Structure 1
Amino acid sequence: MTDPRSAAWDTYSHTKPQRRTTNAKGETTWFNWTQHPDHGPGAEVLTLKSGDSVLDLGCGSGGNLAHLATLGMRAVGIDLSGAQLAKARRRWSDVNGMELHQGDALAFLAASTAPYNAIYSVFGAAYFTDPGLTLPAVYGRLVPGGVFAMSQHPPVEGCYGCQASYIPRGPDEDPAIVKRWDHPPETWAAMLKEYGFEDVTATVLPAPEHGKRRIGTLLIRGVRGSSWERGHGTTRTEVTK
Structure 2
Amino acid sequence: MELVDAWERYARGRARRREANATGARTWLNWTQYPDHGPDESILGDLQNRTVLELGSGTGCNLAHLSTLGATCTGVDIAPSQRGKAVARWGHLPGLAFHTAEVTEYLTRTAGSFDVVLSIFGPVWFSDPELLLPLIRTRLSPGGVLVFSHEPPEPGIPAVGTLRTARAVTRWDYGPQEWSACLTAAGFRGISAETVAPPEGKDTGTLLVMAYAGG
**Kept after mapping to 2: 8 A contact 1:127/1:180:** yes
1:130 is matched with: 128
Which residue identity is paired with 1:225?
Answer: G
CA offset digits 1:53-86 (Å, max 9, x no partner): 1100111111101111111111000101012222
Q: 2:203 aligned with 1:214, yes or no?
A: yes
1:82-161 equivalent positions in 2, closer than 5 A: 82-161=80-159
- RMSD in angstroms over aligned alpha carbons? 1.4
Q: Distance in 1 between matches of 2:46 and 2:107?
A: 20
Please state how far the C-alpha of 1:159 moved relative to its aligned partner. 2.4
Which residue matches 1:185?
Answer: 176
Structure 1 stretches lacking a partner, 5+ long: 168-174, 227-241
Identity %: 38
Shift of the 131–48 alpha-carbon distance from structure 1 to 2, 3 Å rule, reads farther
Question: Pick from 19, 31, 36: which aligns with 1:33?
Answer: 31
**Greater than 4 Å deviation, 4+ residue runs:** none
Q: Is the 8 A contact 2:47 2:66 kept in 1?
A: no
| Shift, 1:194, TM fit | 2.2
Unaligned runs of 5+ in 2: none
Q: How many residues align?
A: 215
Distance 2:103 2:68 in 1: 23
Match of 1:8 in 2: 6
Q: Deviations over 1:136-189 (max 9, x none)?
A: 11111111110001101111113243211133xxxxxxx553111111211111
Amino acid at match of 2:170: K
Residue in 2 that maps onto 1:46: 44
Larger of the two Rg values belongs to structure: 1
Letter of the 1:91 counterpart:
R
Distance 2:158 2:141 in 1: 31
Is residue 195 of structure 2 the alignment partner of residue 204 of structure 1?
yes
Q: Deviations over 1:81-134 (max 9, x none)?
A: 012222212221322211000011011111111110011100111111001111
